[in-house]
Structure 1
């Protein structure tokens, strides 16, 4: 396994005046780290993965595995894909249909002429690691989707590459199987510790697998941090929304404090910030106020729909054009579409962002200020 350094990486599809798909990307991946590239479709995450694999030629920048340069735009250095010590696990499995599982797994060893791996039973060993040793004499057509993905994983790591790349490998699996294979992959990485870059648009997948998550936006990294930091302390309004803080309330500076669109005062735990604010909160940090109840931050809204979820109900609301969502206990809830309600926000759990820069600002008790 190897560390990876990406410096000023740029990729354009077209001429020099075309918009970059990857835009001056910088990233350090430690040896043995499991890094997840997370983002919406079109953000550049898969293109970044393909550049690491050598399947796309970058327009500029450098890529280094350990102390070996894989790409350097200025020096005109580019190592071919087949000469990079990279394992790939694809979304579509990409198994050879005419080869048995044993031969599919062994293919990277034969292609790279790693005779030692063939002689020393690496195929059997890695098949046992991913729980597909009993499938070695079957063809891909005889396997389920989950079994095929296990075989693809075994093939990706059998040659003991410096870097293993995963291109949304779980997205074709059903929900139950996805959770199982995800857990197995996490355990496998814990046992053998390969360096990995995993591409996904699924935040739950990223939180479960990553040592660090790099959230991409328009070809750049918006924030790169541990899963807990990304989830609990998103650095920008974009990251907060992407990580499930779907509720967005705008507050204007009003005297020594802030007020909502209707002019109602809000008691917000912010110090040292004088501009307008964006408040972000998750659905379970928003609640419906009863008669006589109050909150530090509340807005009036109209219920537009309810969805029963067993122990909870998801309530969708319209607060004068702003769409809000509240997840509340089902017991005793008695609201319906069209009802006018007052909605409170847990101001201690919410996150706050400068309305102009969209960067996080500190609340009372916060550990840091992101300028």
Structure 2
């Protein structure tokens, strides 16, 4: 395993005036880290992975693996994929149908002519690590989706590469299998500690697997930090929305303090010289109160537009001053009994909300529970 360094990496698929799919990307990945590239479709995460693998030629920049350049645009260095010590696990498994599991796993050792690995039982060792030792003489068509993905994982790490790349490897599995293979992968990384880059658009997957999450937007990294930091302290409005803070409200500064439309004024100790703030809050941090009277500044009047029963919770859709809000309330609470058409008051847990400058989309100091103005 090895560290990875990406410097000023840029990729354009057209001419020099075309939009950059990867735009001056900077990234350092320490040895043994599992970094998750997270983002919406088209943000550049898969193209970044393909550039690392040598399957895509960058327009400019530099990629180092273990301190050695595998791509350098200025010095015209570009190692082909087969000469980079990299393992890949694909979304589609990509197993050879005419080969047994044993031969599929052994394939990278044969291609790279690693005779010691073939002789010393690396295939059997890695198959046991991913719980596929009993499947070695079967063919891919005789395996379940979860078993095929375990075989693909074994093939990706059998040659003991410096870097393992994962291209949305769990997306073809059903929900139960996805959680099981995700847990197995997390345990395997804890045991072996290989350096890896994992691409996904699933935030739950990213939170469960990552040492760090790099959220990408338009070819750049919007925030790169530990999962709890990205989840609790999003650096931008975009990150907040992507990580589940789906509710968005606007606050305006007035003579008596900050207020939302229809709400009483409230003082917020926000360290920002702006006249407007964007508030982001998760559905589970909204409470639904009966009646229509707004008592203090972190309440807004709303109308219930629909409800969805989710077992232990109820998802309540609301409309407040032309904006759509989503609340998730515990089953059995008064808010869970709201029905379409009801007029209610929505109360924001402002201590759990996060605040952003709408002009820059950057986070500003979030406030504790505010002082209500009488």
Q: What is the TM-score of this pair, normalised by structure 2? A: 0.95
Partner of 2:278: 278
Tell me the distance in 1 between the aligned counterparts of 2:246 and 2:57: 37
Tell me the distance in 2 between the aligned counterparts of 1:120 and 1:47: 36
| Alignment of structure 1 residues 1-150 onto 2, 5 Å | 1-150=1-150
> How far did residue 267 of structure 1 move?
4.0
Tell me the distance in 1 between the aligned counterparts of 2:324 and 2:294: 22
Secondary structure in 2 matching 1:21: strand
Tell me the distance in 2 between the aligned counterparts of 1:297 and 1:365: 12
User: Retained in 1: the 8 A contact 2:263–2:294?
Assistant: no
Distance 1:78 1:103, change over 3 A: same
Partner of 1:369: none
Tell me the distance in 2 between the aligned counterparts of 1:32 and 1:174: 29
Tell me the distance in 2 between the aligned counterparts of 1:295 and 1:180: 46
Tell me the distance in 1 between the aligned counterparts of 2:74 and 2:287: 56
Tell me the distance in 2 between the aligned counterparts of 1:103 and 1:185: 22
User: Retained in 2: the 8 A contact 1:268–1:297?
Assistant: no
> How far did residue 257 of structure 1 move?
1.9
| Alignment of structure 1 residues 333-344 onto 2, 5 Å | 333-344=336-347
Tell me the distance in 2 between the aligned counterparts of 1:163 and 1:303: 50
User: Retained in 1: the 8 A contact 2:35–2:214?
Assistant: yes
Partner of 2:354: 351
| Alignment of structure 1 residues 113-262 onto 2, 5 Å | 113-255=113-255, 257-262=257-262
> How far did residue 294 of structure 1 move?
3.8
Secondary structure in 2 matching 1:55: coil
Secondary structure in 1 matching 2:337: coil
Q: Please, which runs of 5 or more residues in structure 1 have no aligned partner?
A: 367-371
Number of matched residues?
366
> How far did residue 301 of structure 1 move?
1.3
User: Retained in 1: the 8 A contact 2:2–2:31?
Assistant: yes
Q: Please, which runs of 5 or more residues in structure 2 have no aligned partner?
A: 370-374
Tell me the distance in 2 between the aligned counterparts of 1:339 and 1:269: 34
Distance 1:293 1:259, change over 3 A: closer
Kindly report the root-mean-square deviation, in angstroms, between the aligned alpha carbons of the 2 structures: 1.5
Q: What is the TM-score of this pair, normalised by structure 1? A: 0.96
| Alignment of structure 1 residues 280-359 onto 2, 5 Å | 280-291=280-291, 294-331=295-332, 332=334, 333-359=336-362
Tell me the distance in 1 between the aligned counterparts of 2:76 and 2:266: 57
